[in-house]
Amino acid sequence: MASLGINLDHIATVRQARRTVEPDPVQLAILAELGGADGITVHLREDRRHIQDRDVELLRHTLGSRLNLEMAATKEMVATALRVRPHQVTLVPERREEVTTEGGLDVVRQLPVLRQAVEPLQGEGIPVSLFVDAEVDQLIACQASGARWVELHTGAYANTASPAAELARLQAGTRLARALGLRVNAGHGLTYQNVEPVAAIPAMEELNIGHTIVARALAVGLTNAVHQMKALIRNPRQNLLVTEG
Ligand code: PXP
C-alpha cells in the first residue's frame, strides 16, 4: 500500500496572501498527521512565495511523521537542507514565472548539476528523490545521478480526459525504475477522483498530494480531508479506468 505525503504549500499560500501568521502550516501539519498523513512535504521556493525558512525549521522539530523537502538543486538550497536535515529531499525544477511545478527535471541534460546536489545530501544520510516524467532516458539518467528515489510526475495523467495511456506510462515507468534499483513515489495533480489507479500501481511507495486536500479541507477540515484521501489510497479500486472507460 502506498503511503500518503501531504503537501502543505497552499496553507502557506493563504497566509502569504496577507503576509500574516495564519493559517500556520506548522500547526496544521499536526491535523494532517491526525488524519493519517505518513509524511509532510513542503516546497521551499527560491522566491519564498509560500513556505518560509521558519516553516521548514519548525516542521523538522515538531513532526511526528517524516519531512520531505522539495527544492531546486542550488548551492543555497543544498546548504539549507544539510542544516535542517529533512528525512528526504525531492529535487524539482523551478522557474519563477510558473504557477506551480510544470514538468519533471531534465535529468539527462542536468546530470552534472544534479550530481552536485545528490552527492553531499546522500553523503550526509539524506535520501534524494528526483521529480521526473516517466520516460526511459530520464529514468536511466536518474540511476546515473546516484539518487535512490524518483517521484514520477503525474501531471500529464491528471490533466488528460482519457488517462489510460498516461496511466500505462506511469506503470511502465514504475517497473523500469524498480528494475534500475530506484524506489518510486509519484505526485502532482492527483485528486480524490483520479488517485486510485495510481495508488494501485505495484511498488508505488508514496503519493505526494497537496492542492486537492487543502481545497477539500475548507469544507470538511484538514483531518477529515486527509482521512478521506488515505481511505482511497489504502483500498484503491484497481480497475477503475477500465470499468469506467
Ligand atoms: N510533487 C511535487 C514534486 C510537486 O511539486 C507538487 C506541487 O507542489 C506536488 C507533488 C503536489 O501537487 P498537487 O498540489 O497538485 O497535489
Domain ranges (residues) in the chain: 3-234
Asked if residues 131 and 162 have their Cβ atoms less than 8 Å apart, the reply is no
How far apart (Å, rounded) are the C-alpha atoms in residues 83 and 81?
5
Measured by CA distance, the residue closest to atom 7 of ligand 1 is: 188
Asked if residues 40 and 8 have their Cβ atoms less than 8 Å apart, the reply is yes
The pLDDT score that the predictor gives to residue 73 is 97
The pLDDT score that the predictor gives to residue 96 is 65
State pLDDT tens for residues 101-131: 678 999 999 999 999 999 999 999 999 999 9
**Inter-helix orientation angle 25-34/222-234, to 10°:** 40
Answer whether 3 contacts ligand 1 (Cβ < 6 A).
Answer: no
Mutate to test the pocket of ligand 1, among 4, 77, 100 (most ligand atoms within 8 A of CB): 100
Count of alpha carbons within 13 Å of 157, Cβ hemisphere only?
A: 28
State pLDDT tens for residues 10-56: 999 999 999 999 999 999 999 999 999 999 999 999 999 999 999 99
Residue 87 burial (CB < 10 Å; 0-12/13-18/19+)?
middle
User: Cell 486536500 belongs to which residue?
Assistant: 213
Query: What is the 140 CA–ligand 1 centroid distance (Å)?
Result: 23
Q: What is the pTM of this model?
A: 0.95
Cis peptide leading into 163, omega within 30 of 0?
no
* C-alpha closest to that of 214 among 45, 84, 37, 76: 37
State pLDDT tens for residues 50-89: 999 999 999 999 999 999 999 999 999 999 999 999 999 9
CATH topology of domain 3-234: TIM Barrel (3.20.20)
239 falls in which pLDDT band (50, 70, 90)?
A: low
Percent of the chain with pLDDT over 70: 95
The pLDDT score that the predictor gives to residue 95 is 77
Find the range with the poorest average confidence among 96-100, 158-162, 232-236: 96-100
Measured by CA distance, the residue closest to atom 4 of ligand 1 is: 188
